[in-house]
Amino acid sequence: MEDLSQHLLDLSFNSLAAGCTDLQICIREDLKSNILEFIVRDNGHGIDQEDIEKVLDPFFTTKENARVGLGISLLKEAVERCGGIFKIDSLPRIGTCVQAGFPRDHMDRAPLGDMTGTIISLITAGGDMEMVYHHEFNRKQFYFSTEELKLSLEGISIQTTAVLVWLEEYLSKEIKALRRGKDEKFGRAG
């Protein structure tokens, strides 16, 4: 996967496939403490304790027609390559929480990538799922919730093209403004 937003999209699609109706994506970046971490939390049907180990195995998948499921093992590898932290917690019928933390300036940490595109894809694919996106950059915050947006849309579907076009512009502007930090000249960026 080319960037972290693709991992986030992959995790979120796992959540969708697990029947989640509430999805939380939290990203925290702090240049001073050199951290970039994200959490994807859902209320899907969860993973049995005995299967948790198995999702990290590339030769395990619940998809019947696929022989391997690489998503989570690729993320774990991406984290470990940089000496980061990877955690997956799950309770059957309650939900799943996947957490990944990277040393932000590590050369092999992929850039965050296109979060706007990820959120838009999730809204398009998610149907009635509610989603919260929380992004912290050097303690500045950005918060977006589909539930709140839907309230102000007063009955117009969030999947209407005009809404999505506006949302795309809004999100990319806000996320760009949030992350506008002073990057050192040759240091890690993105």
The footprint of another protein (CB under 8 A) covers: 2-3, 81, 106-108, 110-111, 186-190
Nearest distance in Å: CB 37, another protein = 19
**Residue number, 31 or 158, with CB nearest to another protein:** 31
**Residue number, 106 or 134, with CB nearest to another protein:** 106
**Residue number, 110 or 167, with CB nearest to another protein:** 110
Paired strand residues for 89: 97
Nearest distance in Å: CB 49, another protein = 34
**Residue number, 2 or 53, with CB nearest to another protein:** 2
Nearest distance in Å: CB 161, another protein = 25
Paired strand residues for 21: none
Nearest distance in Å: CB 61, another protein = 25
